[in-house]
Structure 1
Amino acid sequence: MSTPAALRIVAVSGSPTDPSRTTALVTEIAAALAEALGGTAETIELAGLREELAAGVWRPQLGPSAREALERVESADVLVVGSPAYRATYTGLFKLFFDHVGQLALVDRPVLLSATAGAAGDAALVEHHLRALFAFFQSRVLPIGVPTDDSGFDEDKRVTDALRLRIAAAVERATPLI
């Protein structure tokens, strides 16, 4: 009798900067999901893939690290995605990356949405833009997203205890659906 493989949770940070509050957020969420589900977590930072993602229009023209990141996303069991709010939506880098994901590659894939914003009003990014994008992919968007503003981080861009409580609530609601 074989033991089931651990769930692979892949987080994607759509931030064009490093270090990034968005990376801290998606990494924290993925780790919490991995702990709750007995899985493994990894984070893909798009900031380091900017040049490779801009190398061509078609996926075969992209650099090898960008293609590998796309494959890791498409083969993940669970996704955690996040982007900083930029002009009321996700970053162009986030969009460029997901433009190369296969249209049917994420069907029924559980996805937990998150976003970082400078102001509380920018948090609508999760409900209005990210939810719509992953509906296009026919993914199983999990019930509670985790938007946050600057108050969710300390001066070193680490997640605060208050934000960890919100992450725990999202993970608790997501776990039975994964």
Structure 2
Amino acid sequence: MKVTVVAGNPKPQSRTLDAARILAAAIAARDADEIVDVITLGPGLLGWGDDGVKAAVDKVRAADLVIVASPTYKGTYTGVLKLFLDQFATDTGLQDVIAVPLMLGAGPGHAMAPIFLEQVLRELGATLPAPGLYVMDSEYTTGTAIADYASRWGAALSASDRAGVR
């Protein structure tokens, strides 16, 4: 299973990216194969045809499992992540890719935020055999939410890949 992490945080090398790497490793029992730290793609995200953005899109499309992570901004995912996701075709852009939305936030009031990311990933054709995950950013390394999620959903995500469930 080829695993890719996408982090849509406006800061490079963010806690969001770190949490996504931890989740990928917990699900796959190894580090992710590819990392896309969206903010590093720079102004190429603002248009179409940028080679760096295209290469990042190709990495995601080649994945079997992609962890798509964002901090929670105004109750939803970031504009930086939206700019990246806009690069994928509707219905087919993430076809044959299993996606796991991960969102970090400052408090429990935004625990439903992953639903918005789930909806856009489905619109792009991704398969989501498990619900998204919301983690408090102050607890992603000390709490059990990521380990609990991987324990509950890891086998189902791996089985979906092996079975070609899309």
Instruction: Give the TM-score category using the shorter length.
Output: 0.7 to 0.9
Deviation at 1:83, TM superposition (A): 0.7
After superposition, give the CA deviation of every residue in 1:28-71 in whole Å (9 maximum; x if it has no partner).
122223327xx9522210121132212x2x2x1x2x22211011
Q: Contact 2:5–2:32 at 8 Å: present in 1 too? A: no
- Count of residues in Structure 1 that have an aligned counterpart in Structure 2: 159
Match of 2:148 in 1: 166
Q: Rg: which structure is higher?
A: 1
Secondary structure at the aligned position of 2:4 is classed as: strand
Match of 1:3 in 2: none
Which consecutive residues of structure 2, in runs of 5 or more, have no partner in the other structure? 162-166
Pick one of 35, 53, 56 that aligns with 1:43.
Answer: 35
2 CA distance for matches of 1:50 and 1:116? 22
**1:17-166 superposed matches below 5 A:** 17-35=11-29, 41-54=33-46, 56=47, 58=48, 60=49, 62=50, 64-103=51-90, 104-127=92-115, 129-153=116-140, 159-160=141-142, 162-166=144-148
Distance in 2 (CA, whole Å) between partners of 1:120 and 1:21 is 17
Task: Give the aligned residue type for 2:107.
Answer: A
Determine whether 1:177 maps to 2:160: yes
* 1:16 correspondence with 2:3: no
**What is the CA–CA distance in structure 1 between the aligned matches of 2:157 and 2:142, rounded to whole Å?**
21
Q: How far apart, in 1, do the equivalents of 2:60 and 2:22 lie?
A: 17
Over aligned residues, Cα RMSD in angstroms?
Answer: 2.0
Q: Conserved in 2, the CA contact under 8 Å of 1:113 and 1:130? A: yes
Residue 12 to residue 25, structure 1, CA distance change in 2 (3 Å): same
Name stretches of at least 5 consecutive residues in structure 1 with no aligned partner.
1-6, 154-158
Deviation per CA, 1:157-178, whole angstroms, max 9, x where unpaired? Answer: xx22523422422323422222
